[in-house]
Homo-oligomer: A and B are copies of this chain.
Amino acid sequence: MTITTAHLSVSLDGFVAGPNQTMADPIGRGGLALHQWHFDADEPGHEVDARWTAELLRPRGAYVMGRNMFGPVRDAWSTHDGDWRGWWGDEPPYHAPVFVLTHHAREPIEMAGGTTFHFVTEGLERALELARTAGGGDVDIAGGASTVRQALRAGELDEFAFDIVPVLLGSGERLFDEGIRAGFELLEGEHSPWATHVRYRICH
C-alpha cells in the first residue's frame, strides 16, 4: 500500500520559518536553525540526526509541493515562467516526479537526477491523484506548511514526521493554524541535542 507523508522541521514555538522571508532569505530570520540538524548530519555525534535525515530523504514515488515552496513569491516565478526552476539548482534532491500546485499552467521541467517538475492547476486532490499514479510508491507532501495543512484537513495524510528544534523563533510562519484538529499515533521517536524527531500515524 502506498501512503502519503509529510516531514517538517518546526521550532518549539511552532514555526516552520522565521519572519521576513525574502528571496535572499527564503526561510526567514532565524529559520536556518530549523535545518541545522540535517545539514550537520554527517558530523560525529549526529547519528540520531543522520537516521532522520535518511528518513527525510528516503526515496518516494512522487512529491506534491505548494507553489510558494517551489518559488519565492507568487509573482517571481509566475511572471518569469521560463526562468524559475526551483530553489535546488540543476539536480534537486527529489529524484522523482514533483507535482507543483499553481494557478499558472506551465510545461513540465525535466531536471538532472530524475526530478521532473509538473505544474497542476486543478488543486491538491488532483495533484495527489497524479502523484499516486505517476510514482508507484509513497507520496510525500514536501511543503510548504499551508499545503501540508490542506492535506491534513482533507484527510489525505497518513503519516506526519516532525523534527522539533529546541529554539523559539518568536514569529514567522506557523506549522498549524487555528481550527485544525487531529489525533496522532506514535510510530517512532528519538532525541538528539539538535532536534526531537518523531513520526506519527494520523488517526482520521
Chain A contact residues, CB within 8 Å of chain B: 12-14, 30, 162, 164, 166-171, 175-176, 178-186, 188-193, 196, 198, 200
Contacts and interface: CB of A to CB of B under 8 A. Distances in A.
A42 B33 CA distance: 38
Contacts of A14: 13-14, 176
B166 A170 contact: no
Contacts of A176: 12-14, 168
B184 A178 contact: no
Contacts of A192: 186
A182 B196 contact: no
Residue of A13, A162, A171 contacting most chain B CB atoms (<10 Å):
A13
6 contacts: A13-B14, A14-B176, A166-B185, A168-B183, A189-B191, A189-B196
B193 A167 contact: no
A35 B56 CA distance: 31
Contacts of A178: 170-171
A184 B13 contact: no
Contacts of A168: 176, 180-183
A30 B181 CA distance: 10
A40 to B, nearest CB: 15
A77 B180 CA distance: 34
A13 B196 contact: no
B189 A167 contact: no
A183 B120 CA distance: 40
Contacts of A171: 178-179
Given A186-B193, A191-B186, A196-B198, A13 B180 contact: yes
A179 B184 CA distance: 29
A79 to B, nearest CB: 32
Given A186-B192, A189-B191, A196-B198, 7 more contacts: A166-B183, A166-B186, A166-B200, A167-B181, A168-B181, A186-B193, A188-B191
Residue of A167, A169, A184, A189 contacting most chain B CB atoms (<10 Å):
A189
